[in-house]
Amino acid sequence: MAAHHKTAYVQGGLGRDGGRQILFFSGDGSSAKGTSEKKEKVKSLWEELIQYGESDYYPFHMPGHKRLPEEDALPPHKSFLSPLYKCDITEIEGFDNLHDAGGLLLSLQQKSAGVYHAEQSFFLINGSTCGILSAVSSIARDDKKILVARNCHKSVYNAIRINRLQAEYLWPGRIEDFDIQGEITAEQIEKHLSGREDICGVVVTSPTYDGIVSDICEIAKVVHGHGIPLVVDEAHGAHFVLSKKAPRSAVECGADIVINSVHKTLPSLTQTGLLHVQGSIIDRERLRDCLSVYQSSSPSYLLMASIDRCIDFILEQGPERYDRLLDLRARIDERAKRLSCIRIMPAGERRDPGKLVLSVNGTEMTGQELYRTLYDKYHLQMEMGAPSYALGILTVMDAKEGVERLLDALENIDGRLSVSSEGNEKEKDIYCGRPAASGLSIYEALCREREWIRPEEAAGRISGGFLYFYPPGIPVLVPGEIIDGELVRKMKRIRKRKEYLTGISREGKICVLKKA
């Protein structure tokens, strides 16, 4: 029988109804309801740090820089780092403890939960990676398998490895026109779960690295119908709560655990994130324990202050900033009509308008060449170059001037391109293949004796390591899978183009299991 699942739609500072009500939740998940007008204002961590840095308290505690009392000790960094040193502290009096929050940090995490419509939220200072490791570890069971989207980040696979799980994969569809992976559907998941009792949970990524959003509301209904939890890696969708015009967030759709990288698409320092939890399926005590394992025992207060300031930014400017993003995106889509050869994937339903897929499919140029040309000639740093497209990220902090520079550069490049029959046969995405399983789990494969051989000798052998491009960190091949001839041919072409595929050594060899 399916376990009861409580779906909570929490009205936050930017709720779908347009209200300004915030629900604060206690550490055990119970709510403390109030309004922004009636409830005492929550202190800001960054303001508290600045005030403390300017005080006369002398630190006989970590960290070792002692807030840099001798300002000439590190002269090359004086102008840049000195203000940061003054605010860089550890768990001292009045500043709470992230791993046992009961004061300031608890109230800030409750504020975050209100904004993200969650029952409970946790600060992540080791990136979304530690949130994903914690989420998967909290739902793992010794005698169960886990169902995961194949286009998940490598941290999901590391969690599978650490917990010695056997994985089953959901293969995303494809958007052939732009040679990218598509969404995961509720129907796919139902087919895997129907009649099964050996699956401990489902993990999907939405939005994808390329901005494709799956229907998490329908997926959540299917998963909960089987009485198991749904974990959504929404690292690239932290901005979805800014506006009713954005795709609906995974928390609002009823996912049990959702991980956001606030640094990816919002104004927060690199390595900052949030983990949200709701419903009755998740063992929250176990989840908290996992977070204490995977998060640093010396969390950075500068990073936590960055998260806090980001939450304030959402409350103060969210809808207005998202409208600005949409205006910039509309400008991009309008000027894209002038392009003859380069195609920009249009914004649309269940697509993140902040992802710019710049396709050169059908031309003599590769995605990596477009990436390199934009960098070398126009000083525009894109997110990634793939075989047939380059990827850019547009956020609520982008300036019109930067967008115009990109559009001018694309028009100049486009004017020198032409449609090429050779380009039409450009190598498809390396993620097209579906490696066969050997029956070994990732953990089991990594415990076997391994050796490094040349790719041309690898067909039919069992992989002894991960193989992936970084970014995006999505495995092409995982330990325990059988290497086929098509993948060998793709690896050779990648080496010929002098692209770096993580998992191939500098000597051009690949890791496989030794033959028995």
Q: How large is the average pLDDT for residues 7-21?
A: 36
- Which residue spans of the chain are classified as CATH 3.90.100.10? 436-513
pLDDT at position 190 over 70? yes
CATH architecture of 316-415: Alpha-Beta Complex (3.90)
Least confident of 13-17, 204-208, 435-439, 466-470: 13-17
Cα separation, 407 vs 168, in Å, equals 42
Position 453 scores a pLDDT of 96
- What is the pTM assigned to this prediction? 0.90
Q: 263-272 burial, b if ≥16 CB within 10 A, otherwise e?
A: bbbbbbbebb
Q: What is the CATH number of domain 436-513?
A: 3.90.100.10
pLDDT at position 435 over 60? yes
Q: How large is the average pLDDT for residues 240-267?
A: 98
Q: Which of 143, 147, 125, 144 is nearest to 134 (CA)?
A: 125
CA dihedral sign of residues 215, 216, 221, 223 = positive
- Which residue spans of the chain are classified as CATH 3.90.1150.150? 316-415
Angstrom distances, CA of residue 353 to CA of 241, 324, 367, 457: 14, 12, 20, 43
Position 324 scores a pLDDT of 97
CB 441 within 8 A of CB 353: no
Between residues 78 and 134, the one the model is more confident about: 134
- Does CATH place domain 116-315 in 3.40.640.10? yes
420 exposed, middle or buried (CB, 10 Å; 0-12, 13-18, 19+)? middle
Position 448 scores a pLDDT of 97
Residue 35: which pLDDT band, with cuts at 50, 70 and 90?
very low
Position 68 scores a pLDDT of 79
CB 427 within 8 A of CB 354: no
pLDDT at position 347 over 80? yes
Cα separation, 196 vs 214, in Å, equals 23
Tokens 């608890």, residue located: 106
- Percent of the chain residues past pLDDT 70, beyond the cut: 88
Position 77 scores a pLDDT of 58
pLDDT at position 461 over 50? yes
What angle, rounded to 10 degrees, do the helices at 45-53 and 78-87 form?
Answer: 110
Position 431 scores a pLDDT of 59
Mean pLDDT of the chain: 89
Cα separation, 285 vs 293, in Å, equals 13
Cα separation, 240 vs 236, in Å, equals 9
Cα separation, 33 vs 114, in Å, equals 10
Position 423 scores a pLDDT of 52
Q: How large is the average pLDDT for residues 330-357?
A: 95
200-237 pLDDT tens trace: 999 999 999 999 999 999 999 999 999 999 999 999 99
Tokens 């914004």, residue located: 347
| Helix (H) or strand (E) segment spanning residue 344 | strand 343-344
Q: Which of 399, 482, 366, 436 is nearest to 169 (CA)?
A: 436
Strand-pair partners of 181: 174
Between residues 85 and 328, the one the model is more confident about: 328
pLDDT at position 421 over 80? no
Residue 4: which pLDDT band, with cuts at 50, 70 and 90?
very low
- Which residue spans of the chain are classified as CATH 3.40.640.10? 116-315
Radius of gyration over alpha carbons of the chain, in Å? 24
